[in-house]
Structure 1
Amino acid sequence: MSSAAVTRQSVLHGRAAEEAAVRLLLDRARQGAGGALALLGSPGIGKTAVLDLAGTLAGDFAVLRVRGIRQETHLPLSGLHALLHPVAGLIRSHVLTWALRLGRSDGGVALPAALLEFLRELAGPEPVLVCVDDLHLLDAASREALTFAARRVAGERIALLFTAWDAAGPPGELPGDVPVRTLEPLDQAATRALAAELLPGNLSDDLRGSLERLSRGNPLALRELVESLSAEQLAGLAPAPDSLPVHGRLHRAHADRLAGLPEDTRFLLLLLAADPGLDTATLILAAEPADPLSLLAPAENAGVIRAEGERYVYTDETVRAVAYAEAPLARRRAAHRLLGDLLDGQSRRLARAWHRAVALDGPPERLAAELAAAASTATRHGHPGPSLAYERAARLTGHDASRAEWLAAAARHAWVSGDFPRARSLLSWLRRPVASDSSRGQAELMYGRLELLSGNADSARDKLLAAAGWLVEHDRLVGVKALLQAAEASYLAGDIRALHAIAGQAAVLRRGDDCVTAQLMFEYLEGIAATFSGRHRAAAGPLRRVVELASAVSSPVTLVWACVASLLLGEDATAIELSARAVDTARRRGAVSVVPQLLESMIQAQFWLGRYSSVAAHATEGLRLAQESGQLNAAAQHLAWLAHAAAVQGDAESCRDRAHAAIELAESHGLGIATTLGNWALAHLDLSIGRPAEAAARLRGRHGNDHVVIRVMASPHFIEAATRTGDRRRAAAALRVLERWAASTGSPDRLALVARCRALLAAPGEAGELFCEALELHRQGACRFETARTQLLYGGALRRERRPGAAREHLHGALETFERLGAVLWSERARAELRASGEAVVHVSPAGDPERLLTAQQLRIARLVAEGATNREVAERLFLSPRTIDHHLRNVFVRLGVRSRVELARLLS
């Protein structure tokens, strides 16, 4: 055993709940209500760091600390000897003294009682904290004495804090009646914060993503990965690591754990590591004549594996990787050969081909061909997956053409599944001069798609155009798709001229015998180009044909274009139906990379229908998925939509945080669409707080508002702001553009906005009829929020015409809708108008539980804080600034009448 001094640690990322539990334990010990707490978790998860923090927080305590060491587990009382050695001179108990000296205990209650009495004596002048790291590795006698004391300190100034591996051993090794907290892996926000602390400076998105995936939220894994990085890897000149350092502490800890298991058990564990999808029936065949269940029992008892349905799985993927890496090469090949012989049937065709290829069980060319053929018909779910299979086939073959074809397929599958770093690594091989024109075109296409998701929009367009030039002669359909995606890059950038040029380039490739997918793409390009020119009537025909053709396609990417066409036609319900179908298809196929883009179309449709809670929910999900997969361009748009939802709810701080984050990201990537969306959200907020001049300036184009489609969508806000500042000329010009688009859609919701804008520009005697027309159209539509906005504007106009009675009818309707939707600032505007109309309006705060007292955002923040999260952790999780969280939290305390986080936790428990 060894005793260690406590050192001050930096902030523990993602461990707010554990810190709160430790603080509570120490506070109770100070007050004479001692106790114990056991922290469980896998190696490297941060248990020791929590002990270090406890030692730092216990500055007024006498701190005793010991760490279990496997080499001394068999030495009786070696644990107590190490724990008490620093204070041995204070021990007066003969029982305790002789037991430690002889290393022997009679097994009765005398020694544990003597330890408890000594701790009580030590706690006379100051409270005592006992920290035991890796309790499961202590000798049995020491463990029994310490857990005996832990059960009897309720009325003492003593705190005991234990750590142990989860499911570390047989019953009795851990204190079953002591409170337990299990440390879970760090979430993405905490992992990124720790990575930034360990490696200051800008990490590439690929490297950051690789570190996050490999570490799986384990702090020690992340630390060792960072320490293992070479200068070339940091500079992006070499591939990121693909496994934990073999000589690292975490790898060795898992290897030691596995080494303690029987040899036959370790071979079955190797089979499970080689094939994570292995079913128990195949495992039984592999273990004959022995019983595999009895052989796996030691591993299950040790917490290495667990039963899950019809198979066994590793409790920790890191342990699976270690179990495979620790086996000698010959033993690994033998395991793969055995599995290749045992697996049969079409459902495991790819797995069988994979195992035979890894075992080199036959001529390499034949194995490569079998593996590629199996990959071509396989789903993306399960092990090994098409991307890995194609790569293995490429490495086995000696034919350049086959290698290039299979590498391109491997990169394509990696891209679709959202593994962009792997896709880029595979593509670098394809770009070599030996590759064919078609293969180099495929590589350029993949690079362009990756750039479209996470890079500069102009650069993506150039790469995709280059790919189209390579591909159109070899695979016309893929070449046309590359052109369409180049047009998408131009759309994101707001570059009308480039989009028109691409549409013209594609038009000459059209044929009368085109397949449905090709027809849809050509129609979409024609319709979107006409829309960008403001020729909405000309765009309607092609866009309508896109929607009609959508019923005959199943590709999620193709369905995205149909969703956009529906939105431009004003058919929001159809857009939601198509996007829901696309999202479902993508998830079933494992096509992670397209889900954030699909959610963008769904969000825009929900926005037009006034479903702002759905906008916020789907934008939050889209942002999470985009950040996890490194899709920064999609992340910018989802941030902007979250800013819109916050503007509707009147959450000014969150709106500004998210809009500015979206604009900053968009400007660095040349995304005119996200820049304009962000400024539109800020303009909405300006209007709601009575700042029309600022709103008009934002929407006039002075803040990078240069995306024509979004500018048209935002024109109702601009026209309202411009008329209130006297800029009727610009307002009238914007209305003419809005009229052309709305008329081409026939959508009641959009036509209602046109009528409202006409009313704002009309002479006083003519506005009333137009407002009534707008309200009638609203009744035919679906967006209740915009109906309330029209009622508010009409009510205000009636009040200024000195018709207070008529005004109140509309203002009450607006107020009721705003309150139901949680639109705080707009509710205040409606109340102000009612007061100006001569009606005394008293705002009655909702009574009852926190769900009625708080907004949705405040309630979410309150719950996270009550669970122990710090302001910074809440900010990272909700994509806000710590300053905004602090602002919200102050309001939460006021509304709920609490004064501290402890009171908040009690109220929400």
Structure 2
Amino acid sequence: MSCASPATLASMPHPRVPVPHARTPVLHGRATELEALCRLAGGALLGSGGALLLLGDPGTGKSALLEAFASVAASPIASTAADTGAGAGAEGAGGFVVLRVRGTQTEEHLPYAGLHALLRPIAAGLAALPPAQAAVLARVLELGTADGGLALPAAVLALLRAVDRPLLICADDVHRLDAPSREVLFFAARRLAGERIAMLLTAGAEAAEEATERAGGGGGVPGDVPRLVLGGLDEEAARRVLTDLAPEMPEDLRASLAQAAHGNPLALRELVGSLTAAQLSGTAAPPETPPPGGRLWRAHADRLARLPRDTGDLLLLIAADPDLDTVTLLRAAEPGCALTALEAAERAGVVVRLAEDRYGFREPVTRAVVYGDAPAARRRAAHLTLARILDQEHQGLRRAWHRAAALDGPAERLADGLVEELAAAPPGATGGRGSFPEPFRVLERAAELTVRGDARAARLAAAARHAWHAGLPQRARSLLNRLNRLNSLTISEEVRGRAELVRGSLELRSGKTGSACDELLAASEWLLDRDREQAVRTLVRASEASYMAGDTHRFLSIARRAATLRRADDPPVIQLMFEYLEGMAATFRGRHGEAAPPLRRVLDLAPSVDNPSVLVWACVSSLLLGDDAQALKLSTRAIETARAQGAVSTVPQVLEFLIQAELWLGRYASVAANAMEGLRLAQETGRLNSAAQHLAWLALAAAVEGDEETCRIRAGSAIELADAHGLGVVGALGGWALAHLDVAAGRHANAAGRLRAVARADGTGGHLVIRVMATPHFVEAAARTGDVEHARAALAVLDRWVASTGSPDRLALAARCHALLAGPGESEERFREALDLHHRGSCAFETARTQLLFGGALRRNRRPGAAREHLHGALETFERYGARLWAEQARSELRAAGEATPRPEGRTRATGAPAAEAAESPAVQALTAQQLQIARLVADGATNREVAARLFLSPRTVEHHLRNIFSRLGIRSRVELVRLLS
């Protein structure tokens, strides 16, 4: 990203601003900040100078922004002085003259050291000043002394004005400059209007406040200099930084480091630099904090070192237990230590008040520094104090955690106490990420304190399971590797089975489906005599692996194995799983009448289940029965349950089936939004197979809109992952998306060829479920190419399924397919039947598709008047959905039916958008769902390239969309877009 590129500078609201030719270093996620700096430079080039103060916490990139901007400003620029009125061509010889100074702690008390460093490069210009000013300034630069009053600041300003080219003053860490130099700099900063001078200053956010307080408002950072506060990078920008630093880094490791850095650019760099070979290979857990002793760690340690001792004591207690409320914190403090001791930390920006009467660290890394730099004896004392005062009955797990951290008793007893308290904790109290202490850490600590080999192995296996459910696959793998290093003689068969279950789950969601199926089947057999419910659940997961692979034969084999294990006295959750497998197996055999009863029993049993993974299978049952509304309810409940239980890694999988329900209902705006959310969560939690599926859904949503390049990019990425991981369902879904695009564009032969590949059900690239869902497109394409035989065969499969569901939407699609294959006499009757069913259903988009096909048939039968009635309805719906290619087909048919159809310029939002979108301004409602996504990302400061990476588009496609967005909204710049969306 180069905000100072010609395109960016040219977009500033100054006419014909001179444009630097040099390219800045890549600074991801800083488009808004760089644009502000570009404006500052543009004003100076036009003789309207100014100053800007960049404030930010350590490591946020203040110095990087300053250096990047200075390097561009110093480069040669186009000579446009005659056009801009900026002067008589002086800048044609080069760029800005750049003066630099950086405040340092060692020279902070040396008067005028800052001015000496800043002005030394232009000291020769003293000769051009009036003798009195030259004498004042020379004495300062040579002796470091000056009289009071205006003489010195006026002389400095005169020297700066005497430079014959545009001037950029860069003062880094201005709060570290000596006070007299700061006063002079800020005097000049207030008087740059009408000058060809830009001043860029940086300071730490908290240090600026400290400097202001120390100086009483005089020598500190004044309030009348414009400020720009640097926040953390967003997730996508952080990922791009990591990609630049380590292009070959695995995706799940990249997600972990992005979370650990909390958007801090320096943290990202130091985390990557600290990685070991084991961490890079995934055999060790990734780092959770920047390395001790690194620049970022030292910066926070220096800030903490300036705080009073009693403040530090309270901070250590908060670091040891982030869930401490204020009352408990004061009880734990030393006698006489009041809450006022935290005021210094609040003023310094170290802590902030949180909800529920708590304090927390404003920057997460500070907690690690406070705790990590405290001597071991102080840490132990803090844990002992907390263990003593916490409520033994209601805070038992936290109390046990602190006792274990302080080694307050025999190690084995402490380990047992941790495990017992975790088991006794109420549901939801030990959720996943974010709870304290996190379950996987509790079990990991218990394993460290356990000497008995079998118990230690069991606790490591349980810790790995909790880490996986919390969305931490790298931590789960590292715990399993530690288990593997134990003496194999001490590991029981049950523990091996549970460990194999976690490995299989990891492989199922992020590895190869074939390996996952093998591992899960083995785990199921190991667990069968020890934990029946878990064994059956693992068997169903093995069937999931074969489903994802598109291996119907293996799925049926697993279902046959499950049938031999059924018992009449099984509890409801186990009964549900057996019914699910029975219903799915009958469906895959095409025996839908046999499938319906067990699938309905799944739905009857679902209310008694609170496991989100099991609820997913109930959601699938609803979809197979054609009950999309029930599928939406179940998937929504599963998502809520997963989040309540801290099982965040389950949410992307549930979203896959919620999206299927929305697809049948024609809610394409929601399909795109939920698929984007699913993709983000899948990447964060290391679920690459789920990420692939969401990419494929996004490709299908792009196909509906007729966005060819977006569809191809997303489908290509999904199919690539499908090939690498054995994901037949994803490959078939990506092929369906491309075929949808082909049908919409009239490339029927291409579509038919793609969908014949989707129809394979032998595990080599096809998928039975996607084959049936794609049948309407295949029949349309095959009918247009004369391949009636294959179309009829595919339709026979669809007919058997839709007849068993009774769903009007599905029956309408089958009726439409029959109309396409029927003779002239029967065709119209079938189309009318389809439309009648559509009107009883929910999917307006498919209704419009039937209207389009029916209208075309009527036109070819020389009934243009009747054709236009249906074609108008289709066109209106397609335009509402933003379905460009389908709308063009409808217009073409209307023109052939004798009606002129100008291109509309009104709103084209798909139905089914969230209520929040419907409340947008009328201007924003003119955007399609994808355009609105792009507009919001751009308004948040993302560059075209960052938007492209976030949405799996090409930068050229983003640029194209952005031009259309500006045109539809009647604006001309990103600044106007920010105002409009604010």
TM-score under structure 1 normalisation? 0.96
SS of residue matched to 2:101: strand
Distance in 1 (alpha carbons) for counterparts of 2:31 and 2:660: 36
Distance in 1 (alpha carbons) for counterparts of 2:107 and 2:347: 22
- The more displaced of 299-308 and 208-217 is 208-217
Matching residue of 1:61: 96
Q: 1:308 to 1:905 in 2, by over 3 A?
A: closer
1:721 alignment partner, one of 764, 776, 781: 781
Q: 1:887 to 1:438 in 2, by over 3 A?
A: same
Matching residue of 1:426: 479
CA contact (8 A) 1:636 1:665 kept: yes
Matching residue of 2:930: 857
Matching residue of 2:154: 113
The residue correspondences of 1:360-759 to structure 2 (distance < 5 A) are 360-376=407-423, 377=425, 378-380=429-431, 381-431=434-484, 432=486, 433=488, 434-701=490-757, 705-759=765-819
SS of residue matched to 1:601: helix
Query: Residues 240-297 of structure 1, C-alpha deviation per residue, up to 9 Å, x if partnerless?
Result: 3343222211111111111111122111111111111111111211224334322111
CA contact (8 A) 1:375 1:385 kept: no
Q: 1:333 to 1:894 in 2, by over 3 A?
A: same
2:959 alignment partner, one of 856, 877, 886: 886
Distance in 1 (alpha carbons) for counterparts of 2:925 and 2:389: 60
SS of residue matched to 1:635: helix
SS of residue matched to 1:64: strand
Distance in 1 (alpha carbons) for counterparts of 2:294 and 2:148: 39
Matching residue of 2:262: 216
Distance in 1 (alpha carbons) for counterparts of 2:874 and 2:252: 49
SS of residue matched to 1:167: helix
Amino acid at match of 1:117: A
Q: 1:877 to 1:570 in 2, by over 3 A?
A: same
SS of residue matched to 1:361: coil
CA contact (8 A) 1:430 1:440 kept: no
Q: 1:234 to 1:386 in 2, by over 3 A?
A: closer
Matching residue of 1:341: 388
Q: 1:353 to 1:496 in 2, by over 3 A?
A: same
Per the TM alignment, residue 451 of structure 1 is displaced from its structure 2 partner at its CA by: 0.8
Per the TM alignment, residue 237 of structure 1 is displaced from its structure 2 partner at its CA by: 4.8
- The more displaced of 155-164 and 835-844 is 835-844
CA contact (8 A) 2:440 2:463 kept: yes
Per the TM alignment, residue 345 of structure 1 is displaced from its structure 2 partner at its CA by: 4.9
Matching residue of 1:3: none
CA contact (8 A) 1:608 1:783 kept: yes
Q: 1:220 to 1:725 in 2, by over 3 A?
A: same
CA contact (8 A) 2:504 2:520 kept: yes
Q: 1:833 to 1:512 in 2, by over 3 A?
A: same
Per the TM alignment, residue 236 of structure 1 is displaced from its structure 2 partner at its CA by: 4.0
Matching residue of 2:221: 174
Matching residue of 2:87: none
Distance in 2 (alpha carbons) for counterparts of 1:702 and 1:592: 32
Matching residue of 2:136: 95
RMSD: 2.1
CA contact (8 A) 2:751 2:778 kept: yes
Matching residue of 2:918: none
Per the TM alignment, residue 337 of structure 1 is displaced from its structure 2 partner at its CA by: 0.8
Distance in 1 (alpha carbons) for counterparts of 2:816 and 2:808: 12
Per the TM alignment, residue 408 of structure 1 is displaced from its structure 2 partner at its CA by: 2.1
Unaligned 5+ runs, structure 1: 1-6
Query: Residues 100-141 of structure 1, C-alpha deviation per residue, up to 9 Å, x if partnerless?
Result: 44434556444333332322223xx11111111112222222
Query: Are residues 1:134 and 2:170 paired?
Result: no
SS of residue matched to 1:176: coil
- The more displaced of 377-386 and 555-564 is 377-386
Amino acid at match of 2:53: A
Query: Residues 417-445 of structure 1, C-alpha deviation per residue, up to 9 Å, x if partnerless?
Result: 10111111111223341211111111110
Matching residue of 1:203: 249
Per the TM alignment, residue 659 of structure 1 is displaced from its structure 2 partner at its CA by: 1.2
CA contact (8 A) 1:654 1:884 kept: yes
Distance in 1 (alpha carbons) for counterparts of 2:571 and 2:721: 38
1:770 alignment partner, one of 792, 813, 830: 830
Distance in 2 (alpha carbons) for counterparts of 1:175 and 1:346: 53
CA contact (8 A) 2:261 2:289 kept: no
Query: Are residues 1:143 and 2:178 paired?
Result: no
Query: Are residues 1:761 and 2:800 paired?
Result: no
Query: Residues 26-79 of structure 1, C-alpha deviation per residue, up to 9 Å, x if partnerless?
Result: 011111111111112111111111011111121211111111212322333222
Per the TM alignment, residue 239 of structure 1 is displaced from its structure 2 partner at its CA by: 4.0
Query: Residues 698-726 of structure 1, C-alpha deviation per residue, up to 9 Å, x if partnerless?
Result: 10117965100110011011001100111
Q: 1:708 to 1:58 in 2, by over 3 A?
A: same
1:292 alignment partner, one of 338, 341, 365: 338
Distance in 2 (alpha carbons) for counterparts of 1:517 and 1:783: 33
Distance in 2 (alpha carbons) for counterparts of 1:84 and 1:375: 65
- The more displaced of 146-155 and 95-104 is 95-104
Distance in 2 (alpha carbons) for counterparts of 1:8 and 1:44: 23
Matching residue of 1:41: 56
- The more displaced of 183-192 and 587-596 is 183-192
Distance in 2 (alpha carbons) for counterparts of 1:322 and 1:46: 20
Query: Are residues 1:161 and 2:200 paired?
Result: yes
SS of residue matched to 1:563: helix
CA contact (8 A) 2:732 2:758 kept: no
Matching residue of 1:828: 888
Amino acid at match of 2:443: Y
Alignment length, in residue pairs?
900
Distance in 2 (alpha carbons) for counterparts of 1:303 and 1:797: 71
1:258 alignment partner, one of 301, 304, 328: 304
Per the TM alignment, residue 9 of structure 1 is displaced from its structure 2 partner at its CA by: 5.7
Percent of pairs identical after alignment? 61
TM-score under structure 2 normalisation? 0.89
Matching residue of 2:118: 83
Distance in 2 (alpha carbons) for counterparts of 1:495 and 1:69: 66
Amino acid at match of 2:694: H
Distance in 1 (alpha carbons) for counterparts of 2:977 and 2:568: 68
Amino acid at match of 2:241: L
Distance in 2 (alpha carbons) for counterparts of 1:504 and 1:833: 52
Distance in 2 (alpha carbons) for counterparts of 1:725 and 1:292: 83
Matching residue of 1:4: none
Distance in 2 (alpha carbons) for counterparts of 1:867 and 1:233: 33
Distance in 1 (alpha carbons) for counterparts of 2:284 and 2:842: 54
Matching residue of 2:19: none
Q: 1:728 to 1:8 in 2, by over 3 A?
A: closer
Distance in 2 (alpha carbons) for counterparts of 1:908 and 1:554: 40
Query: Are residues 1:152 and 2:191 paired?
Result: yes
Per the TM alignment, residue 904 of structure 1 is displaced from its structure 2 partner at its CA by: 6.3
1:241 alignment partner, one of 287, 295, 302: 287
Distance in 2 (alpha carbons) for counterparts of 1:897 and 1:551: 51
Distance in 2 (alpha carbons) for counterparts of 1:291 and 1:754: 76
Amino acid at match of 1:146: L
Matching residue of 1:50: 65
Query: Residues 663-688 of structure 1, C-alpha deviation per residue, up to 9 Å, x if partnerless?
Result: 11111111000111111111111111
CA contact (8 A) 1:705 1:711 kept: no
CA contact (8 A) 2:550 2:765 kept: no
CA contact (8 A) 2:779 2:795 kept: yes
